[in-house]
Amino acid sequence: MIVHKGGQIQVTKNIEEYELFSNDSYYTINTHYLDDKLPKAIQFCRDYYDSKGIYSDCRVKINSTVRTIKKDIELAPNVKFHTHPKGIAVDWKFYDEKLNEIFQTELKQHDYLFKELRKIGITGFGLEGFCTHFDTRDTKAPHEDEYGFYAEWTTF
């Protein structure tokens, strides 16, 4: 999908286009590509917890989508495969910090949530405590399941 700066299109039930636009101060273009599997995956996570009816705030915050390579290296100098500059990555979180912790704990278990996200096409999972990284890399990664290769890491 092409994301426009200030765009007002409703991309999913709860995510608007402007939320997906790069917040990288080095980024000076008014549009960029973003894999449409990423907002679908985030919406799936929000719907999953909304449907349980026990969490009062399932809103999400998109922290980062597309970055310039310069910004990506500043933020992640040791990363070998930069997904953000390619428009195939998103960093996000639930506003409710407790829900964010619950989500990341459930994701680590590789049960329902993880499998559904793999079906959607998520191939990179980074659990960074303060946020979650999803990407759709198409390169061989260290892990494999019935949906293909995937990468995962935790920084906390």
Q: Would you say residue 13 lies in a domain?
A: no
Q: Would you say residue 66 lies in a domain?
A: yes
Q: Would you say residue 50 lies in a domain?
A: yes
Please state, in angstroms and rounded to a whole number, the distance separating the CA atoms of residues 17 and 71: 22
pLDDT per position as a tens digit, 34-87: 999 999 999 999 999 999 988 889 999 999 999 999 999 998 888 888 899 999
* Proportion of the chain above pLDDT 90, given as a percent: 79
- Crossing angle of helices 37-52/97-108, nearest 10°? 110
Cross-sheet strand order for the sheet of 132-135: 60-64, 89-94, 132-135, 124-127, 148-154, 143-145
Q: Would you say residue 93 lies in a domain?
A: yes
CATH number at residue 71: 3.30.1380
* Proportion of the chain above pLDDT 70, given as a percent: 99
Q: Would you say residue 113 lies in a domain?
A: yes
In this prediction the pTM is 0.94
**Which pLDDT value is given to residue 21?**
96
Q: Would you say residue 23 lies in a domain?
A: no
Please state, in angstroms and rounded to a whole number, the distance separating the CA atoms of residues 103 and 36: 21
**Which pLDDT value is given to residue 80?**
80
**Which pLDDT value is given to residue 100?**
94
Please check the confidence at residue 94 and state whether its pLDDT lies above 90.
Answer: yes
As a whole number, mean pLDDT of residues 115-138 equals 95
**Which pLDDT value is given to residue 156?**
55
> Which range in 40-44, 52-56, 129-133, 140-144 is most confidently predicted, on average pLDDT?
40-44
Average pLDDT, whole number, for the chain?
93
Q: CA dihedral in degrees (96, 132, 149, 21; nearest 10)?
A: 110
Domain range for 55 is 35-154
Question: What's the structural domain count of the chain?
Answer: 1
